[in-house]
Amino acid sequence: MLNLPLAAFVLLLSLCSNNLFAQSSSNSTESNSVNSIIKYSNNGKLNYSYTLSNNNQYSVDVIIKNDQFIYKQEIDTLQIQSAEAFALLKQDLQNALTALQNVNPNFKIQRPNYILIAEDKGVTGLFMVLSNPTGAINTANTKFQIRVLLEWLNTIEFGKS
């Protein structure tokens, strides 16, 4: 009976060491695809970054998190990897900001990698919802939050560090 606590301790110790080994090995494989962050910010709802990958590919990444989650947080990333897509995103956000200022609840833009849609939440007002292409993961942003994102994007010269 005295060996049972000892056996449990040894089992726990072996499980911990296996987890540490698995974490260290997964980190070593990720180092092959590391991005250098040039700029990073957030607007209180969205996190976004401007990065340069090992293969000299520039990218703007916007992390979208579901506003309302109960058991687990769902996340998706809107990734812009060309100057044309970057300009289109900025134009779409400018149009979204105009729609919010004009209280246009019928605003909707659907692109291959994201959806922007106005959502009237009654007493709390009109929000601009940014979602992944399926619409399953989305974040509602205020006029101020869209303006902050757009101002940050305007500080980037896509394709330059």
Q: What are phi and psi of 97, to 5 degrees?
A: -65, -40
Q: What pLDDT is attached to residue 70? A: 64
Which of 42-51, 73-82, 136-145 is predicted least confidently?
73-82
Q: What pLDDT is attached to residue 55? A: 87
Tell which wins on pLDDT, 36 or 123: 36
CB 109 within 8 A of CB 158: no
Which own/partner contact pairs does 151-157 have at CB distance under 8 Å and 24+ positions apart? Answer: 152/39, 152/41, 152/43, 152/48, 153/60, 153/86, 153/89, 153/90, 153/93, 154/90, 155/39, 156/39, 156/50, 156/60, 156/86
Interstrand relation of 108-110 and 75-80 (parallel, antiparallel or unpaired): unpaired
Q: What pLDDT is attached to residue 67? A: 72
Taken as a whole, the chain contains a residue count of 161
Q: How would you classify residue 131: left for phi > 0, otherwise alpha for psi between -120 and 50, otherwise beta? A: beta
DSSP 3-state helix, strand, coil percentages of the chain (rounded to 5)?
40, 30, 30
Model confidence at 28, pLDDT cuts 50, 70, 90, reads very low
Greatest Cα pair distance in the chain:
75
Tell which wins on pLDDT, 8 or 85: 85
Can you give the pTM of this predicted structure?
A: 0.73
Percent of the chain residues topping a pLDDT of 70: 76
Q: What pLDDT is attached to residue 72? A: 67
Q: What are phi and psi of 158, to 5 degrees?
A: -60, 130
Percent of the chain residues topping a pLDDT of 90: 55
Q: What is the mean pLDDT of the chain?
A: 81
